[in-house]
Amino acid sequence: MGKNYVDIERDNGETLRYRKHANGRGLIAHGAKVHASALVEAGAYVEPGARIAAGAKVMRGAWVESDAMVGHDAVIEAHAHVGRAALVGSRARIGVRTHVGDRARVAVGALIGDDESIDDDEAVATDRRGLRLAA
């Protein structure tokens, strides 16, 4: 039986230990909290201090940075990036290759399309079709 963790050295020489999540085999850093029912696919990373709620999905190649929160049943599509301390509301969907900036807030149920970018500190809400609502 193979080991259930991976050590990765950062550019500054610090080593972080990641464990493989039982549901999807994605890499979860020590200090992150991921609900057992969440899916974190292989090739996805969840950094220290991040929290992934029940039923959420973090797809292949996605990256959830430190102290970010992903609400229940939210979906972070392939190769998307959720910045430091960002909040993704319950049932929200972040599209393929989309970037959510640091401390950004995505509303409950928001639909963010593919290849979009949300600025640092920006708050975003959408209607059911994914069109952004005025703030």
- Helix-strand-coil percent breakdown of the chain, rounded to 5? 0, 35, 65
Q: Which residue shows structure tokens 């430091």? A: 84
Question: Using alpha carbons only, what angle is made at residue 115 by residues 109 and 116, rounded to the nearest 5 degrees?
Answer: 55
3-state secondary structure 96-125: CCCEECCCCEECCCCEECCCCEECCCCEEC
What is the pTM for the complete model shown?
0.91
Asked if 37 contacts 23 with a C-beta cutoff of 8 angstroms, the reply is yes
pLDDT tens track, the chain, 135 positions: 566 788 888 888 888 899 999 999 999 999 999 999 999 999 999 999 999 999 999 999 999 999 999 999 999 999 999 999 999 999 999 999 999 999 999 999 999 999 999 999 999 998 887 777 765
Residue 134: per-residue pLDDT: 67
Total residues belonging to the chain: 135
> Which residues lie across from 93 on neighbouring strands?
75, 111
